[in-house]
Each structure stands twice: as C-alpha cells, then as structure tokens.
Structure 1
Amino acid sequence: MKKMPFLPVLRFKHISITACIAVSILLPILICSCIPLPGSVPHPDLAPPALYRVFSDAARKVTLVFDKPATIDPIGVSVDPEMDVVEVTQSESMVTLCFDVLLSPGKEYTLRAEARDLHGNSCFFIAKFYGFNPRIALVEINEFTTRGSSTHPDIIELKIIKSGSLAGMCFCHGTRDNYAYRYVFPECEVAEGDYILLHAKPEGIQSEISETGDITVSGGLDASPMARDFWIKEGTGLSGNNGVLAIYTQPAGSIIDAVIYTNRTSSSDAVYCGFGSQDLIDPAIMLCEEKAWVASGDAVKPEDAVNIEPSTATRSICRSSSGTDTDTNNDWHIVPTKGASFGTANTDEVYMP
C-alpha cells in the first residue's frame, strides 16, 4: 500500500505537499530553583497543526481537517486556479474556506496556506483538492478479477445505479488514506444501467483511450464496445490474493461502495487476526467503521471478506445479476471458467470445482 514518506513533525497522508515550515516559539522562563514554579507547564505544546484531510462538499467551499484546533488567515491563502477567499469558518479541528466563485465539479485545485494553533505554532502547507460534484453518479462495484493473465489483465467493472456525472469520483486500490494507487475520473455523463470498465494493468499503448464520449473508440486488451473503458496509467494490476477496492465521491470524499477480498482465514496468522498484514486489516476495519462493509461479529475477520481462491482470469468475482448490495460477501460469487462478463450483465452461474 502506498503511504506518504515519514515526516518527523507533520504526518500528512495522501495530500500533495511540497513545502512545510513548522514555527514554534518558547519564551525563556527564569528558573530560580529546582522546584517547578506554580502554574508552570513542563512540556509546552510545540507541535504545529497537522493537516489530515482536504475535501469539498459544497459548490464554493473547501474544508480542511487538522489534528487540533487551528485557524487560517485568508490574506495568506493562494489557490490555483486563482480565486479569492471571502469567508473563513472554524469549528474544532475543521476550517472551511468559502470562495468568490463556484468550483468546477471534479477539477483539481492547489491550495497554499498557513495554519496556526492556539499556542502560536504554525505550518505552511500546499495541498490539492477537487471541486464538489453536486450530480455525482451512484455506482456499484459489479465484477472484478485479481488473477489476470497476459491476455486478460485485471479489470474492475462498475455498474451505474443512478444517472449523473463521474467528475472527481475516485477509485482506490485500498482506501482513501492507504492505497496502492488510485484513479480520479474525468467529467463524463453516465446513465443508469451503463457499465464502466477500469483496466488495472494497461499496456501503455496509444489505442488505450479513456472513453468520456464515444464508447467504441478504445482498443487495448478486453476493451468493450458495450461499456466505457477507462485506463489506470499507473495501474500494476490488483493484489492477487488479498485487497480492498473502494469508490469515493472524490479523493478525500465520502465512500460510495467497497469490497474486501482474500484467500485467508482467521487461522492463517495470530498477529493480524488472520489478515496477514497491517496493510490489509487496517482498511478492512476502516470500511466497517464507515458502514461500507458489514462484519458478522464485533470484529472483522477474513471469513467476512469475499473468498477469491477459485478465481482466475476468466472466472471473475461477480455480484448477483439482481444487484443485491448488503455490503457482505453474500453478494458475491465466482462464475464458471470463461464466464467473465465485463461490459454486460453478470451471470448467476457459480463455479463448481
């Protein structure tokens, strides 16, 4: 899973930061004896506020979430493309900036600003965010393969449940805070019943065209004339045995749909409850906390995930054709050999060894 490099003071996750200046001031205190002065603070707060998340949930606004209460001076704020801050509101650890113009749905913006906490510690940061999309389409993860071949690479199929726009919608191989790679969709109008194919291991050839208009223009392995093909340029395939697939309204937005898959059991290891690593159990716990996946007990375990052990490049993991979505492994089955149906309706036939 991809994680931001360690920063000794500011531990930002998945926010593009090119500069960070931490400023803290400790006034000299005159000590006259070994006994602490009444009311003295032996360990003052010298850490600047750390930025954890940046998202837009309104047409003119962006919200920044810090690890502690913080303020931002609008005079020092710079946004690219250029716009002015007309209002700043602060609630606990969240600061919301209101702009003088509407944000373009799904468009990438770069914010430069300085945050300051109650003790005067400050941090200059640069972060990216995406314009709020008020017409975001509703989608479900409908079919996928994680054990692709040279002729049938890994694919994720999305089914459109409610018409709308894909602008800014984000697929993560992982979660928004811990992912191997992600894909942010461009502006594209979709209708209920449409299929989207996300190709997770492209060859990098010219004919691999992401189809925001004509759905027949893309070439490439397993491109479908019946669905919209999108190609994840940095995609290296899906983790073959264990992983999480998740869809968000935007890179730091709310979750839309997710699936956990594995070939492990609770007895596979004792350290990570059977999941095998922190990188898998943490996303699984997060998805359950966000009500995107339902565990059968108090704690999520490998048996709650979709068991992909019999799957292959042509025996895909499918949701039932009815589209049932209980956010559990009961929604999924593995189809017979050559039963993959990317770009068309799923089959309800089940692979029998």
Structure 2
Amino acid sequence: MRRHSYHLLLIILYILIASACDAQAQRELFNVLAGTDHQGPVLMETKATGTHTATYRFDEMVFCSSEDFRIGADDNSIRSVTTFEEEVKLIFTRPLRPGFRIMVEGRVSDQFGNTLTFSSGVWGFNDRLPAVRINEFTTKGSPTNPDRVELLAFTDGNLAGLTLYDGLSESFDSECILPSYEVKKGDHVVIEYSEGLRQKHPIEFYGGPVGLGANNGVISLYDSPDGAMIDAVLYSNRTSSSDNDYGGFGTSKVHQRALLLEESGQWDAYPIVPEAGVDSTYSTATRSICRTEDAPDTDTRSDWHIVPTSKASFGSPNSPDIHEP
C-alpha cells in the first residue's frame, strides 16, 4: 500500500512540475511577443526641401531602397533614395515644379519587418518665393464688393505655390494655391472670393465662390500647401465671455483654429482670446481691415485698422485713415 502511495505521489509531483514549466514557457513566450512591435510605420510629413529633393518623415526608423519608390509622372523620375533614422530623402532627376504636386508611391519597413505602402504627393519647391504678407481684407462682402484678401510683396519673386487659407492648413474652409506669376517689390496681389473674377485689380486671382467667415476667423498664408506658415491674422467681434464652451469664439471650429494659430507662434497672444484678434465689428464690404503700411509687423491687433466707408484700397496702397464709429 505504501509503495502504491509513493508511486502515486511521484506521478502527481511530476505532473505539477511539468505544468509549472509549461506555464513558465508560455509566460515567457507571451512576454516576448508582447514586447514586439506589430504596427507598420506611420507617415508624418512630406515636404520638398529643394528644387530636386523631398523628405518623407515617419514616426520611427525606416528602411527602404530605390526599388521601393516610383512616381506617377512621365517627365520625372527618382535618381536616388537615402534613409536616416525616421526620414527618407528622395532626389529627383528633374526639378519639382513650384505650384504643382507630384505623386510618389513608396514602401518602407521598420526594424521588425512591419511595412507601410503609401501614396503621397509632394509640392514643388519655389526657391524664388518673394517676401509677402497679408495686407488688407474684407469678410462682409456684397455682389459689387466681394470678400477679398490682398497680399503685399516686399521683394521680387514668383508666387508659384504660395497658399492662402480661410483657416489654417490643418483646418480650413477654402484653399487658394497661387500659380506661377512674377511680381515686383511693392506689388499688391488680390485674391477675390466671388462667382468669378471681375478684372478690377492689376494682379488678381480667384479664391473661390464662398466668402470668408464674416465676423470671426483666421486667415493664414503658407509658402506651399505642405509648407510653413509665413503670416496670419486673427479677427473677431466677440469676447471671452461670449460663450463658455469655445473660449468665446462661438464655435468649436474657430476655437480650434485660434489654438492652432497660438501654437504656430504667428500671432502674439497668450492665452489666445477673441479680444486678441482684430476687432471686426465695424468692418463692411467697403470698410476693409488694413495694415498700417511701413509699420513694424508685431503679429498683434495693433498692426491693423478699419478704414472709413469706401476707403478699401485693394490693388493699391492702404489708406491710413481710420473709421470712427
């Protein structure tokens, strides 16, 4: 009886030890798999960095070769592909045309072999972009005096790719990408929002049929659609106490755009509130909101004033006169 009990005890002990070892092995296997990345790389940014070069930035280190990329254009090709940590640099055989977008298809992998296949365009690089800024605008247009934004050129150059947003590149209601056009220092460039251009200004472009936000919004200017912001203006007829949900800006959309503008550093206000914007209360279709020309650009509301009735001056120097309510 004792011999049988002893053998039974050994069998039970063996089963327990084997089960423990198996559980330990399973736990170790689970822990190894849990620490492995199973997600492919994520494309974070695409940008032309020169006339022949573009950079694709991912969220982690990637690996690829020239065979992994091709472009959807017969008049250009990729000469070489190099990687450095999270970035892939493409060199093209021909210049990337400013104001035009070329589609690139590619495939990259991370250190665990996870892959990403993508198609993403890159806008041409303009190495002759003039120094420009937003100079005048109206947001309460009429059929005879539609909404307009004027840009002032401070140097000679070409406008190709310059992009004006009703909003910002991350959130906008309209986007106007300017074509190739030579300008001289002092030129006034007008973007008009109407059913069609009226041919009223020496240099004008069509912004679209939908006007700008009447009382409350952000207008911004970028060096290209996927480039950097170079100027912006915040305008509002509201106050911080106008509402409790959207920072006083009235809608989630405008509030979010104001916060994005704050992050960009292109408007000097912290925290950003409606009162920090240009007061649009007394602006009309012919009372434009103008910069004070030849004054320093401080990125604040003090750079701007509303002109008297019928003193809007799109296409020519701004009026220094100020509307008196």
Which residue of 2 is the match for residue 33 of structure 1? 23
2:166 corresponds to 1:173: yes
Q: Shift in Å at residue 249 of structure 1?
A: 1.0
Match of 1:3 in 2: none
- Write the letter of the residue equivalent to 1:36: R
1:129-148 equivalence runs, <5 A? 129-148=122-141
Q: Which residue is equivalent to 2:12?
A: none
TM-score for both structures, normalised by structure 1: 0.79
**What one-letter code is carried by the residue in structure 2 that aligns with 1:243?**
G
TM-score, normalised to structure 2, is 0.85
Deviation at 1:62, TM superposition (A): 0.8
Distance in structure 2 (CA, Å) of the matches to 1:272 and 1:339: 34
2:163–2:175 contact (8 Å) kept in structure 1 = yes
In structure 2, C-alpha distance between the alignment counterparts of 1:125 and 1:117, rounded to whole Å: 14
What is the number of equivalent residue pairs in this alignment?
302
Report sequence identity in percent.
Answer: 36
Match status 1:239 vs 2:213:
yes
Take 1:278 and 1:33, find their aligned partners in 2: how far apart are those partners? Answer: 53
Q: Check conservation: 2:68, 2:108, Cα contact below 8 A.
A: no
Query: Which residue of structure 2 aligns with residue 318 of structure 1?
Result: 290
The correspondence for 2:70, drawn from 78, 82, 92, is: 78
Which amino acid in the other structure matches residue 71 of structure 2?
V
Which whole-Å CA distance do the structure 2 matches of 1:79 and 1:339 have between them? 50
* 3-state secondary structure, aligned to 1:340: coil
Task: Tell me how far 1:41 sits from its aligned partner.
Answer: 4.0
> Aligned partners of 1:93 and 1:264: how far apart in 2?
43
State the Cα deviation string for residues 145-171 of structure 1 (Å, max 9, x = none).
Answer: 111112211100111111101011111
| Deviation, structure 1 residue 180 | 1.3
Alignment gaps of 5+ in structure 2: 1-20
Measure how far apart 1:243 and its partner are: 1.4
Cα-to-partner distance string for 1:305-343 (whole Å, 9 max, x where unaligned): 111111111111111132531111110111111111111
How many Å apart are 1:237 and its aligned residue? 0.7
CA distance in 2, matches of 1:294, 1:165: 29
Alignment partner for residue 224 of structure 1, among 189, 200, 203? 200
Q: Which has the higher helix share?
A: 2
Q: CA deviation at 1:126?
A: 1.6
| AA matched with 1:310 | Y
The match for 1:67 is 59
Aligned residue number for residue 331 of structure 1: 303
CA deviation after TM superposition for structure 1 residue 65, in Å: 2.4
Contact kept, 8 Å, 2:190 with 2:314, in 1: the verdict is yes
Separation in structure 1 between the aligned mates of residue 72 and residue 222 of structure 2, nearest angstrom: 23
Deviations 1:136-193 (A, max 9, x none): 1111101101111122111001111111010111111111122112111111110010
- Indicate whether 1:190 and 2:183 are aligned: yes
Structure 1 portions without partners, runs of 5+: 1-30, 209-219
Q: SS of the residue aligned with 1:268?
A: coil
Q: Secondary structure at the match of 1:182?
A: strand
